[in-house]
Each structure stands twice: as C-alpha cells, then as structure tokens.
Amino acid sequence: MSRIGKQPVRIPSGVTVSIGDGQIAVKGPKGSLSGAVPASISAAVEDECVVFSRPDDTKENRALHGLARALANNMVAGVTEGFSKGLEIEGVGYRAELKGGTLILTLGFSHPVEMKVPEGLSVTMDGNTKLKVEGIDKQAVGQFAADIRGHRPPEPYKGKGIRYAGERIRRKVGKTGAV
C-alpha cells in the first residue's frame, strides 16, 4: 500500500492546478509546470487538494501511485518556492566564471569547459568557487548540478573537484614510503 500516494497534495493560495487527459498543469507565482500522470492513476482536485487514486493493488500501480503524488507535490513546491542546489569547487586553480548564459569551468584540463545554462534555470556565484543552481523544476535543477559535478567529481585522496554543498568526501590514505 502506497503511503505517499494516499496523502493529498495541498494547493496553496495563488496556485492553480488543472488536470486533463493524462496531464497535470500547475501555475503559480514563480511560473508554470506541467507533467504527465501515469495512465492507470487517476487524479482529481478536491477541497484545495489534489488527490490520486489507483485501480488496484498491483505492485506497478502502487509504485506509480506514489510517483504521481510526489511529482505533483514537486510541481506545486517548485512554482511556490523553487528549488536550489549548491556546488563547491575545491582545488588549486579550479574556478568557475559566468559569462552571459554560459558557465565556464577551469578544472585543470587543457581547455576550459563551457556549459550553456538551460532555459528556466539560473546560476548564481559567490566568489569563483561557490555556485548555486536555481529553478522551478526539481529534476532540471538536480540534473544540471549533476552535469556540472560530473566534469570533475571529487577524488578521495586530496578532495579536489566539484562537490555538492555540504557533501562529505571519504578520504583515503595515500601511499607510504618503502621501509
């Protein structure tokens, strides 16, 4: 039994939710998002809440029930508050620079890495080693942050690389001299 799927998604004031032919659309103060509702799951707006129901208790429908509710909740949270992901760059000579809509990363390669900031997202910088990716779509924010981190993930010996804010890196002991 899905415990997440049974809970209704509260609709705050200033947010409108419309459901039609397998789609859910959410409009709020920060923008609008839309997404698909799985075919076997039905959604309805009742008493300032979005309620999801499933036809039976098969394993697939139980999983989709919770998924549909979680995606709708993320859409409502995104258009009201938005999402953000922090990144920290650590290493001698490693830095980032923002020029227009392009993020330029200097990560010890023979060339700088240029990444176009996707539409709907914004990148803010605090100095040249701290980044913050912000947007209303949780999946897009997390994916772009993961793409940035993927160019130079933190290594376990010196801790150099790009890490999420607050991420702890398990350090390994390096080689010891021959005795």
Predicted confidence (pLDDT) per residue in 15-40, tens digit: 999 999 889 999 999 999 999 999 99
Q: What stretch of H or E contains 99?
A: strand 95-99
**Secondary structure of residue 127 in the 3-state scheme:** coil
- As a whole number of angstroms, the distance between CA 44 and CA 52 comes to 7
In tens, the pLDDT along 51-68 reads 999 999 999 999 999 999
Beta bridge partners of 51: 44
> Domains in the chain, start-ordered, CATH in brackets?
3-80 (3.90.930.12), 83-164 (3.90.930.12)
Q: Report pLDDT digits (tens) over 128-143.
A: 999 999 999 999 999 9
Grouping H, G, I as helix, E, B as strand and the rest as coil, residue 13 is coil
pTM, whole model, 2 decimals? Answer: 0.90
Mean pLDDT, the chain, integer: 93
Q: How far apart are CA 170 and CA 140, in angstroms?
A: 27
